[in-house]
Amino acid sequence: MEPEKKDEPTAENEPSEEEKQAPTDALSRTPEDLEEEADKASNEIDAASSAEEANAKKLSPIKRVLRKVNVYLLIFILLVVVGGAIALVNYLNSQKAPVVPDVASQQLSADALKQLANTDATVGNSSQTLTIQGNTIITGQTLARGNLNVAGNLQTGGSITAPTITVAGAANLGATQINSLQIATTLAVQGSTTLADINVAGTSSFSGAMTASQITVTRLILSGNASLTIPNHISFTGPPPTRTVNSAVLGNGGTMSVNGSDTSGTININTGSNTVAGCFAKITFQQAYTNQPHVIVSPIGSAAGQTQYYVDRNNTSFSICTANAAPPNQTFGFDFFVTN
């Protein structure tokens, strides 16, 4: 048998140009075509990798390291190095011995001493030290333009005048006069102290005895088992309270007066004719008490004893009254003492 002849492409069955350019579907390709395309892509990747390796080989080692290292890490390392250098320099400087100033000393000769005694001369300069081995007596005035340092004790036969004196340690003073004394912390006085005038703005505590010709306080509080001993007289001063007179109780022509203070005083009464029972007067305090006070009344004279007196009180005033008509045309009084 004759083998079948394949159809040779003719002009009629030859694919057109559009069909040649149109992409064929992957399913229509043969395994040989797919393998050929994979080999071609692999060759292209190998060529690109070889080109990249060739470019990397052309770069210097420093540039290759810089590409792999982070820029912020380099900055951090730079700061650490600079800080370490500064710390090292400071440490080396601290180990150096301080430079001791070299002050030249100069001995005074006999001629120099004579020159000092006869004239106002300048000896040496500020970089030199004057050393006097023996005792020194200065008859006239002495002026120190700089600081005066005394290594031993300072004794003066006269007074010391200075705008300010600062004592860092302990100071023992004999008779001392101070025009103005301000103490920031604690003042401890071991012996007796005499003060002409003392003003205390805050709280004061006295553990021992205190003697004063006059003490003026706004409020005096005795705490604990403290006691108040007054060997001599005690008086309560202040402006006198005001009064309101009831003329009907005093009778026709009767009068009344009051003297003293809110704490203590005397009520003087002159009765007239036709007296009646009631309150003689109302006494109003100059300063009201915080609570209702205690009012103690003592009668003065026999006429006051004939009255059946009593008191009405509150924190602003009190009234002295009688339950019966007072004796007419009599002079008597009442002492009062008020406490809170």
- Provide the residue type at 318 as one letter: F
Q: Where are the domains of the chain?
A: 47-85, 242-339
Query: Which regions of the chain does DSSP assign to beta strands (E)?
Result: 104-106, 128-130, 242-245, 255-260, 264-270, 278-284, 294-300, 309-313, 317-322, 331-339
What gap in Å lies between CA 240 and CA 98, rounded to an integer? 80
Query: Cα separations (Å) of 184 from 73, 163, 187, 210?
Result: 57, 19, 9, 23
The strand pair at 255-260 and 264-270 is best described as antiparallel
Q: How far is CA 51 from the centre of its chain?
A: 77
**Do the Cβ atoms of 282 and 321 come closer than 8 Å?**
no
| pLDDT tens-place string over residues 146-165 | 777 887 777 777 777 777 77
Among 5-9, 73-77, 146-150, 162-166, which stretch is predicted with the lowest mean pLDDT? 5-9
**Do the Cβ atoms of 86 and 79 come closer than 8 Å?**
no
What gap in Å lies between CA 247 and CA 280, rounded to an integer? 8
Query: Tell me, what's the pLDDT at 119?
Result: 65
Task: Considering the domain delimited by 242-339, tell me its CATH architecture.
Answer: Sandwich (2.60)
What gap in Å lies between CA 242 and CA 261, rounded to an integer? 10
What gap in Å lies between CA 220 and CA 234, rounded to an integer? 15
What gap in Å lies between CA 285 and CA 256, rounded to an integer? 17
pLDDT category at 270 given cuts 50, 70, 90 is very high
What gap in Å lies between CA 218 and CA 220, rounded to an integer? 7
253 compared with 223, residue with greater pLDDT? 253
Nearest to 306 by CA among 281, 282, 334: 334
Q: Above pLDDT 90, what percent of the chain?
A: 33
Q: Specify the DSSP class assigned to residue 298.
A: E
Radius of gyration of the chain (CA): 58
101 compared with 146, residue with greater pLDDT? 146
Query: Tell me, what's the pLDDT at 22?
Result: 45
